[in-house]
A = this chain, B = another copy of it.
Amino acid sequence: MILFKQMTVIGVGLMGGSLAIAAKRAGMVKTVVGYSKRRGDMYKAISMGVLDRCCLTLPRAVEEADLVVLATPVGTFEPLAKAMSGYLKKGAIVTDVGSVKGDLVSRIEKHIPDHAMFVGGHPMVGLQKSGVSSALPNFFDHSTLILTPTAKTDPAATRKVAQLWKGVGAKVVEMDPHKHDQIMSVVSHLPHFLAYASMELFNHSRAAQNALPYAAGGLRDFTRIAKSSPEMWHDIFRLNKESLFAALDSYQAILESFKKAIITAKPREESRSQYEGEGQAHGGDELLKILTRAKALREKLD
């Protein structure tokens, strides 16, 4: 069923490109138009069959759109909303795929004219690859899509955007924009911050850099997310810094108590009783408790 006659994707990368192919293939959009300041991406997307056509200016790209999807780094959403404001047609819905919501949602809403509607959206998918050439029609299969309607959001628009995402394979959840940012700061933004910081440690210290050839698979796993787009994460960190720093404060308190547990740790009971014949219990060892419950929780994530 056609949900939107014309869908315009602003930003033609992995996310926008995948949504374009998936929505087209599911028969939910008739025409997909693309707009990007990187013209090469648009031409590639057309040759791949990801876009039906592209426009060289933002007004042209949005003026006939029933749905506009912001799929650029989140830092561009406010200026984009402002710039397209005078060109959106009556009944047009604007949505986004950004990782930051919170206050940003109302700052975008301010620019959307009364005859159009905004619905915030965020597909929970990893983006260690990037670029339209990695776009896939099943990219959103089994993913979770968070919509962040506010008091100002039209419920019919929310339902239509939800239908689109369900149609490309996502499970849709609704959430307050600020709660969204708190959740993301813990499960995504803080880990990215810590992984980038790990690589920065190697960039910063010559001693650390000399140690790098001895890195095994563990460090590679731990820092894999630092391969994500610097532009994208620049914007996410800048726009969600309050929640990020709150999560970082909690994390640093954990580091302190973890450190204390290491300082006070004793040789494990089993090694002592086994090899030295001493029977005293070290069952209260906080370090072993932390590590054991961390491992147990991590096993559940698989």
Contacts and interface: CB of A to CB of B under 8 A. Distances in A.
Interface of A: 37, 58, 72-73, 75-76, 79-80, 82-83, 124-126, 128, 143-144, 146, 182-184, 186-188, 190-205, 207-208, 210-231, 233-235, 237-238, 241, 244-245, 247-248, 250-252, 254-255, 258-259, 262-263, 265, 267-268, 270-272, 274-276, 285, 287-288, 290-295, 297-299, 301-302
Given A75-B271, A79-B267, A234-B291, 4 more contacts: A193-B258, A202-B297, A204-B254, A212-B301
Given A238-B265, A241-B262, A301-B215, A254 B83 contact: no
A196 B184 CA distance: 19
29 contacts: A37-B274, A72-B271, A75-B271, A76-B275, A79-B267, A79-B276, A125-B216, A126-B216, A126-B218, A128-B218, A144-B213, A146-B214, A182-B211, A187-B212, A188-B214, A188-B216, A191-B219, A193-B258, A195-B222, A196-B295, A203-B294, A204-B250, A215-B301, A227-B295, A230-B291, A231-B268, A234-B285, A234-B287, A238-B265
Contacts of A212: 187, 301
A223 B301 contact: yes
A199 B298 contact: yes
Contact of A287 (B238, B263, B275): B238
Contacts of A75: 267-268, 271
**Chain A interface, DSSP helix/strand/loop, else mixed:** helix
Nearest to A204: B254
Nearest to A125: B216
Contacts of A258: 193, 196-197, 200
Contacts of A186: 201-202, 207-208, 211
Contacts of A299: 227
Contact of A191 (B146, B198, B248, B293): B198
Contacts of A255: 194, 197, 248, 252
Contact of A271 (B73, B125, B229, B251): B73
